[in-house]
Amino acid sequence: MTKSQDDTHKRGEAMALLARAESSLLAAVIERFGPLGVGDDLKQPECGLVMIRGRIGGDGAAFNVGETTVVRAVVRLKSGATGYGLRLGRDVTAARHAAILDALWQAPETRSEVEATVLVPTRCRLEHSNKAAAAAAASSRVEFFTMAREAS
Amino acid sequence: MNTQNQKRGALGVRSQLRQKIGRGFDDPVHDAHATFRAIMTALAEPGKVRVTPSPADAPAALSPAMTAIALALTDFETPVWCDAGPEVEAYIGFHTGAPMALSPSAAAFALITRPERAPRLSAFAAGSLDFPDRSTTIVVAIDDIATDAGWYLTGPGVASARRLLVAPLGESMRTEILANRARFPCGLDFLFCRDATVVGLPRSTHIDQKVD
């Protein structure tokens, strides 16, 4: 993997976590960073619908599952970094906060702080809740055995 | 490998361009509505000057009216042909998601900032008899709009005769605009823009150079 691909991949992970972070956490962290040099709201935070697409079994033909509500925002800091925020739901403030944090994550001098204050706790929380859900599902697991009918 | 390198190069340029991208409409919903209404009435009453909202942070190469039209009408399904350079392409791509048309004939909208140096209008899509709507809407930047000189317009949306002078246009574009009506129902629709004003000239309008 080249360096730029690696960076893109890491940023994707960071954005995914910012999309799932709790809005109260985002607000608290933004407060922590103090006065931010937000230059422009390139796209003001706005709410809309996106079509969710799916594939049965993960590899069938793509079909439209349905629409979901999302908020998005794009900000540019005075430093020139452009941050994108896209989250499920209607919390426009959180989308803007996520965008600011994405921009801060891109700057080498603030990346580690964003990692430590938002990304790591969110990653832990998600892992924990995923494990809990997996454990709850596993306790009621039933194995089905079927025999395929022979082709006639 | 080579294409990958090119891609990475393009990404670098793109991130540089992104640093210059300005804001879109200040009030996205209402400004887009107002722009749409200006365009609709401009085409409904050819030759009348309409005012569009002016996006405060429009790229330097586009007039406020052209920027407003691009922001209000284009989206990911409307390829745009544009002669205003990569900065404008990045701006439109960022705000509307519209792809750039690879050729004039593939464009749903053409943004022409230098009419004298534009390709021949016959290169743009004029629609077919089955689908006359599959044509290019030509948005042209001009320096002068006058409604008391120039062409005599008649046809749908014009009660008696209305006059329109748009300048400068290249000689070949002038000739092709005059010949546009003959192709009806195929043909091109024009939006002439200066500053924050727009004048429409749909394909249904008859243009005479002088009164009989």
Inter-chain touch A42–B28, beta carbons under 8 Å = no
List CB contacts (< 8 A) between B28 and chain A: 44, 46
- CATH number for the domain spanning B80: value is 3.40.50.11310
Domain tally, chain B: 1
Asked if B32 is an interface residue toward chain A (Cβ–Cβ < 8 A), one would say no
Q: Is the pLDDT of residue B160 over 90?
A: no
Optimal mutation site among A1, A3, A4, interface B, most CBs of chain B within 10 A? A4
Domain encompassing residue B53? 2-208
Q: Where are the alpha helices (DSSP H) in chain A?
A: 3-20, 23-33, 92-106, 108-114, 120-139
Q: Is the pLDDT of residue B98 over 70?
A: yes
**Mean pLDDT, chain B, whole residue set:** 89
Identify whether A150 is part of a domain.
no
Distance between CA atoms of residues A106 and A129, nearest Å: 28
**Digit-coded pLDDT (tens) for A122-146:** 999 999 999 999 999 998 888 888 7
Dihedral Cα B119, B173, B205, B47, nearest 10 deg: 110
Residues 36-65 of B with CB under 8 A from A: 57
B168: closest CA of chain A, how far (Å): 34
Identify whether A70 is part of a domain.
yes
Inter-chain touch A43–B19, beta carbons under 8 Å = no
A82: closest CA of chain B, how far (Å): 7
| Average pLDDT estimate for B112-134 | 93
List CB contacts (< 8 A) between A42 and chain B: 21-24, 94
| Average pLDDT estimate for A72-91 | 91
Contact A121, A46 (CB under 8 A): no
Domain tally, chain A: 1
Identify whether A140 is part of a domain.
no
| Average pLDDT estimate for B149-164 | 92
A76: which 2 tokens? 């540019």
Minimum-distance CB partner of B28 among A4, A44, A80: A44
Domain encompassing residue A112? 7-123
List CB contacts (< 8 A) between A2 and chain B: 8
Q: Which tops the pLDDT comparison, B110 or A35?
A: B110
Q: How distant, in Å, are the alpha carbons of B20, B26, B90 from that of B16?
A: 7, 24, 10
Q: Is the pLDDT of residue A100 over 60?
A: yes
Identify whether A13 is part of a domain.
yes
Contact B82, B62 (CB under 8 A): no
List CB contacts (< 8 A) between A41 and chain B: 23
Identify whether A135 is part of a domain.
no
Q: What is the DSSP string of B5-56?
A: HHHHHHHHHHHHHHTT-----SSHHHHHHHHHHHHHHHHHSTT-EEE----T
Report pLDDT for A112. Answer: 93
Optimal mutation site among B16, B21, B91, interface A, most CBs of chain A within 10 A? B21
**Mean pLDDT, chain A, whole residue set:** 89
The model's confidence at residue A41, banded by pLDDT at 50, 70 and 90, is confident
Q: Is the pLDDT of residue B4 over 50?
A: no
The model's confidence at residue B212, banded by pLDDT at 50, 70 and 90, is low
Q: Which tops the pLDDT comparison, A3 or B159?
A: B159
